[in-house]
């Protein structure tokens, strides 16, 4: 087996065990439940206890797929999604990229719109300024590559977990009896099994988006531990959020922005501002992760084909083109609405070209092929 590169030999326990989970959490929260809408959509219909069961199922599925993804990525030497899918799907690898690019157009446009709404609500300015602010922050981070992106994961994660913890403390203090009463309500009519599975299917794409951080893994044990931890790290804030939402179950299920509804009930202006800042940071994490994944895919292809490293200026240019196209142009031409119409279908395509092949072909190769350098051949 070939020796690990220097940066792997010097990896810290944080980079090996927690960083992949923090990165995965960034994609799931920003693209999923930061506003609480997705929690209301996929978990509340199953009722208070059914919703928690669905969240537990999503957590298990996240941990399983992340662990297998990190194992396979390490086995084939993949630090970007292109290398990963060329090994997993062979000549059909482009099927994932086509679906992923459409996915990126949608989520970056949605992030831009969400940032605009936050800016308008907090500062009373035109929404376009919030979109510009988010785009500028993403560009500033991804321009400097892996080190800059990984620092963002660490600092934003501290902010995010702290705000969610404070949120649940305030909710328990002010809504404690209502939360207890909410958990005595009868279960919903929706299947917790379906809700947890569909939610995981929508968001598991984050496991391949964060492949650049798997370079820190030093062994298969690292990959398994990091993957198993990724599920709880991503879903713990969601469980805290859900618990607070139960205080106003079932009426809160009809709220467009459940997070803002709960913040209004708390009626603490300073914390309201802090929470909106946290949501903006979550959007920044997710947006930067998605753009960085594209940069790393191009960087690896450029290095392999021409022996040239992707410089900071090129990273900046790629980020600008992506963000302008996705956050501004796509929305103007109605492309976002077109893709959003088929959002669920797109998610099922991602399951078909990623999750199912990983659980079959990927698992078979991991258990039947030889050492690392042979599997990557």
pLDDT digits (tens, 9 = 90+) for 19-28: 999 999 988 8
Instruction: For residue 38, tell me if it sits in a domain.
Output: yes
Give CA–CA dist 217/226, Å, rounded: 9
Residue 326 maps to which CATH number?
1.10.4160.10
Instruction: For residue 369, tell me if it sits in a domain.
Output: no
Give CA–CA dist 244/5, Å, rounded: 46
pLDDT in tens, 297-338: 899 888 888 888 889 899 999 999 989 888 877 566 655 565
Instruction: For residue 7, tell me if it sits in a domain.
Output: no
Predicted confidence band at 193 (pLDDT cuts at 50, 70, 90)? very high
User: Treating both helix axes as pointing N-terminal to C-terminal, what angle do 269-306 and 81-89 enclose, rounded to 10 degrees?
Assistant: 60
Q: What pLDDT is stored for residue 3 in this prediction?
A: 43
Per the structure, how many domains does the chain have?
1
Q: Which residue has the tokens 């831009």?
A: 112
Q: What pLDDT is stored for residue 331 in this prediction?
A: 64
pLDDT in tens, 124-150: 888 889 889 999 999 999 999 888 999
Q: Which residue has the tokens 């079959």?
A: 360
Instruction: For residue 197, tell me if it sits in a domain.
Output: yes
What number is the average pLDDT over the span 336-356? 73
CB atoms closer than 10 angstroms to residue 337: 12
Residue-range definition of the domain harbouring residue 58: 19-364
**Token digits for 203?**
């968001």
Give CA–CA dist 116/66, Å, rounded: 32
What number is the average pLDDT over the span 361-370? 86
Instruction: For residue 377, tell me if it sits in a domain.
Output: no
CB-facing half-sphere around the CA of 39: CA atoms within 13 A: 30
**Token digits for 47?**
């009722």
User: Buried b / exposed e across 60-92, counting CB within 10 Å, b at 16+?
Assistant: bbbbbbbbbbbbbbbbbbbbbbbbbbbbbbeee
Instruction: For residue 375, tell me if it sits in a domain.
Output: no
Instruction: For residue 371, tell me if it sits in a domain.
Output: no
Q: What pLDDT is stored for residue 246 in this prediction?
A: 95
List the one residue out of 48, 26, 28, 47 whose CA is nearest residue 38. 28
In 245-317, where do the E strands start and end?
Answer: none
3-class secondary-structure state, position 34? coil
Residue 166 has pLDDT above 50, yes or no: yes
Q: Which residues contact 140 (CB under 8 A, 6 or more apart)?
A: none
Instruction: For residue 231, tell me if it sits in a domain.
Output: yes
pLDDT in tens, 36-46: 878 888 899 99
Q: What pLDDT is stored for residue 198 in this prediction?
A: 83
Contact (Cβ atoms closer than 8 angstroms) between residue 294 and residue 288: no
Residue 70 has pLDDT above 90, yes or no: yes
């Amino acid at each position: 087996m070939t020796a690990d590169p220097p940066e792997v030999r010097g990896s810290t326990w944080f980079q090996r065990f927690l960083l992949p989970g923090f990165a995965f959490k960034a994609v799931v929260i920003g693209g999923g439940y930061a506003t609480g809408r997705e929690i209301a959509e996929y978990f509340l219909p199953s009722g208070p206890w059914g919703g928690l069961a669905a969240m537990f199922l999503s957590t298990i599925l996240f941990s399983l797929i992340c662990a297998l993804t990190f194992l396979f990525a390490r086995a084939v030497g993949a630090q970007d999604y292109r290398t990963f899918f060329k090994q997993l799907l062979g000549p059909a690898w482009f099927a994932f990229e086509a679906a992923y690019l459409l996915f990126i157009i949608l989520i970056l446009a949605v992030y831009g719109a969400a940032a605009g709404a936050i800016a308008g609500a907090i500062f009373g300015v035109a929404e376009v300024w919030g979109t510009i602010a988010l785009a500028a922050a993403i560009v500033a981070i991804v321009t400097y590559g892996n080190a800059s992106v990984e620092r963002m994961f660490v600092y934003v994660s501290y902010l995010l977990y702290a705000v969610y913890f404070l949120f649940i403390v305030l909710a328990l203090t002010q809504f404690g009896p209502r939360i207890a009463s909410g958990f005595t309500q009868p279960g919903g009519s929706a299947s917790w099994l379906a809700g947890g599975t569909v939610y995981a299917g929508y968001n598991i794409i984050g496991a391949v988006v964060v492949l650049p951080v798997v370079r820190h893994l030093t062994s298969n044990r690292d990959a398994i531990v990091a993957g198993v931890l990724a599920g709880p790290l991503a879903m713990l804030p969601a469980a805290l959020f859900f618990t607070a939402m139960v205080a106003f179950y079932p009426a809160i299920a009809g709220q467009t922005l459940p997070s803002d509804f709960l913040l209004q009930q708390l009626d603490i202006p300073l914390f309201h501002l802090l929470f909106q800042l946290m949501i903006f940071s979550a959007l920044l994490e997710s947006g930067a992760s998605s753009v960085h994944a594209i940069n790393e895919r191009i960087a690896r292809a450029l290095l392999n084909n021409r022996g040239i490293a992707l410089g900071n200026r090129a990273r900046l240019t790629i980020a600008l083109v992506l963000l302008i196209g996705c956050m501004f142009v796509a929305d103007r031409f109605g492309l976002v609405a077109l893709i959003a119409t088929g959002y669920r279908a797109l998610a099922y395509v991602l399951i078909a070209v990623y999750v199912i092949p990983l659980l079959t072909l990927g698992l078979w190769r991991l258990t039947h092929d030889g050492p690392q350098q042979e599997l990557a051949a």
